[in-house]
Chain A
Amino acid sequence: MKSFKYLALSTMIGAVLAFTAACGATEEEGTTSSSQTAGNNTEQQASDEDKQLQGEINIDGSSTVYPIMEAIVEEFGMTQPGVKVSVASSGTGGGFKAFIAGSTDFSNASRPIKDEEKAQLEEVGLDYTEFKLANDGLSVVIHKDNDWVDYLTVEELKQIWVEDGNAKKWSDIRADWPDEEIKFYSPGTDSGTFDYFNEVILEDAQIVESATLSEDDNVLVQGVTGDVNAIGYFGYAYYAENKDKLKVVPIDGGNGAVEPTNETVESGEYAPLSRPLFTYVKNESVKNEEVYEFLKYTLENAAVLSEDVGYVRLTDEEYEEALKVLEGLK
């Protein structure tokens, strides 16, 4: 019987040890590799004029803005490996909650801050500054074989997407369009993309009930690709990646129909569906050198890096303006 006890104990302890050993090993690995990189850095430091900074930067917020931030942090990490940057993507709303709680330095947002969020920030006495990073052209897309829709006005778009109690047919919008029911694909109501569409097109009216809602934009792409009577909308990057499968609808916001392209979104010609992507920074954090340098790096490189991940850059003047605002915060 005694051997049971020992076997039991030894295996249990063994299992626990194996786990701790596994962790210990990785930890060691981690420290050696980081000390190695640190070693390389000191070498670099000798040749580099740049000052190597230390510190921590915490970023949270919109999952739409996340790819831009990931790209910036990736590049920033190569010049300043001593700064520990973490980027989370809890969504615009979730990001602001953490921002209000004071646990993050930056909060990314795919819509401007809401009044109630402003009020809460004021309540806790947190000063912040808004920076635009890039633009996104919300693209309204249809099936590739849909040859009747040549453009849509904002009013028509609203008429299509607002629930009016009836099943909608294409012929309800313009009489010469086919007598077929429209199939809808929209981002989920929690997303900043929906919020923005709601603000400029739906104007708080109920979205059609038959719409397929999904948080995963790739699902929307598939939905529209699979149905000739479908219509959907999502960020420009998802259209740009699927140009061969989808057709984009030019939107007439009052000054003629405009198709979303890098140029029309950048110039602001593609309206009203161009939306700015923001990051909000805690003013207090900018006083720290590493946060200041990071934000400076962000504004200097956002143009190239945001295009890299499928968004549209702002104009040079806008970035310069933002850099001036940053100088004022220091």
Chain B
Amino acid sequence: MKLIDHAKVLKQMKSRKASNIFFKLLFMAATTFGLLVLGILLYRVITQGIGYLDFQFLQNLPSRKPEQAGVKTALIGTIWLMGVVAPVTLLLGVGTAIYLEEYARKNRFTRFIQVNISNLAGVPSIVFGLLGLTVFVRALALGTSILAAGFTMSLLVLPIIIVASQEAIKAVPKELREASFGMGATKWQTILNVVLPAAIPGILTGGILALSRAIGETAPLVVLGLPLFLAFLPKSVFDMFTVLPMQIYNWTGRPQEEFQGVAAAGIIVLLTMLIIMNSIAVYIRNKFQKRY
């Protein structure tokens, strides 16, 4: 008796190979579809906006005249907002993830928290806007300040970073931890010296996703009642400010066609900022990835 029925193998070979090719092409098409749409979008935005993009654009205030309109207040406002959102989300997010993964006992309560964090990730952003309006703007009387908006945005993106950090911490091999305990290290020493360095690439990936979302969100900030036109720059986190996405949204709604070009220029500035931010995170991530 032959172990392999060659006739049967040959008969099935063709269809197996065909389906292999079919799926390969299908997934390739799926990948190119996204890239293609992105390419068209970038092309449209860049051809529309490049004419309005110059140094003046970064230095001017918004204006009723398209050729004089600029993003100075919005750009600096966005940088300020990120300055609040980044540390707050990283500290709260990573802290929560460490507690849930390393310290907390796995019981009904932590499972309940876990489910809720996952659900929060799916809550529409406008709901967070209403939450921020009630809690930070009104109840804590922070007004439409950078701090109020920063906290609101942090809440919005926290689930993303918590889940990503938890996955990263879970993925650290058990042996590393046990070796550390074996050397007499405490839990905190183990976390600081073993777990975190190994988990940083994953945590930063979550951080990139979280901050990218925070930088582009408009709806919650509109609900907070953030101003669009400001003739002054913020000096502290308690000052009023405005952000790029709101400015872009306003420009796209204008009747004058030139403002579509101004909006496109604003999008280019926003994308550039996003790319710079992400490259810093990717750089740090790659530095750590080489270690294991």
Contacts and interface: CB of A to CB of B under 8 A. Distances in A.
Say whether A associates with B.
yes
Interface of A: 1-2, 4-5, 7-8, 11, 15-16, 18-20, 22-23, 26-27, 30-31, 33-34, 58-60, 63, 66-67, 69-71, 73-74, 77, 81, 84-90, 94, 98, 101, 103, 215-218, 235, 237-238, 240-242, 305, 308-310
B83 A22 contact: yes
B20 interface: no
A310 B80 contact: no
Interface stretch (B2-10, B29-37, B158-166, B249-257): B249-257
A281 B269 CA distance: 36
B118 interface: no
A221 to B, nearest CB: 8
B253 A87 contact: no
B255 A90 contact: no
B79 A26 contact: yes
Given A5-B192, A8-B200, A22-B79, A15 B235 contact: no
Nearest to B64: A71
Name the residue in A89, A101, A240 with the highest tally of chain B Cβ atoms < 10 Å from its Cβ. A89
B240 interface: yes
A298 to B, nearest CB: 14
Contacts of B193: 1-2, 4-5
- Taking residues whose C-beta sits less than 8 angstroms from the other chain, chain B's interface range is 35 or more
Contact of B86 (A19, A73, A215, A308): A19
B143 interface: yes
A215 B197 CA distance: 48
Q: Is the interface of A mostly helix, strand, loop or mixed?
A: helix
Contact of A216 (B229, B240, B252): B252
Interface string B211-243: 000000000001101111111111100001000
Most chain B CB neighbours (cut-off 10 Å) among A20, A74, A77, A237 = A74
Contacts of B80: 23, 26
5 contacts: A33-B233, A73-B229, A85-B231, A88-B144, A217-B253
B194 interface: yes
Contacts of A19: 82-83, 86-87
B180 to A, nearest CB: 8
A63 B225 CA distance: 12
A70 B284 contact: no
B74 to A, nearest CB: 12
B101 to A, nearest CB: 17
Contact of B284 (A11, A31, A310): A11
B63 interface: yes
